[in-house]
Amino acid sequence: PKVLMKVAQQKEFGYFDLWGNWFLKLNPARDPFKKPEMRRALAHATDRTALVDLVRCNPCSSIVPPGFPGYRAAEAPRFSRASAVGELLKANVDITVIPAIELLVPDSQRAVAEKLKEEWEKTLGVTVRILGMKPPAYAQALAAGKYDAALGAWVGEYFDPLAFLE
């Protein structure tokens, strides 16, 4: 609209990058995610490059997005089918008897969920059931811990790693 164009031309108006990320939450209170090896197996079975290509955003391999001067983040496990299978074997989880992994996602992120489902089923042989929800129900399910795995997101309120770490 014309009003926004006029405001954008004011010298006080400025543009800035949005510092945020999407991340995967695994519920350690639920089987089979009580075992850290199972959580690591899914982490290694997640091809972040394919996800970044899918949503057309910049890659991030930690909870803190890159670009903060002087901050060095811990790196997430790298995509590796061999490492994923190795962690699954260490977890000693019988994938033929565990129920389907319920992946909770906002309806707007269905394509990301489909990609995760495809990778996890192909790499680990697990069954994944996608639970797409509208924002209010999604937020309530997250807060109540009613998920096996869920996509989460965070946007920093200020330009500092603490906006993501606190």
* Total residue length of the chain: 166
The confidence score (pLDDT) of residue 1 equals 62
How far is Cα 157 from Cα 68, in angstroms, rounded to an integer? 14
The confidence score (pLDDT) of residue 15 equals 60
The confidence score (pLDDT) of residue 141 equals 93
Rounded to two decimals, the pTM is 0.79
How far is Cα 156 from Cα 95, in angstroms, rounded to an integer? 38
The confidence score (pLDDT) of residue 17 equals 63
The confidence score (pLDDT) of residue 4 equals 67
The confidence score (pLDDT) of residue 24 equals 87
Q: Is the Cβ–Cβ distance between 146 and 2 less than 8 Å?
A: no
Q: Which residues does the chain have with pLDDT short of 50?
A: none
Site of tokens 């495809």: 118
The confidence score (pLDDT) of residue 140 equals 93
pLDDT tens-place string over residues 110-119: 888 999 999 9
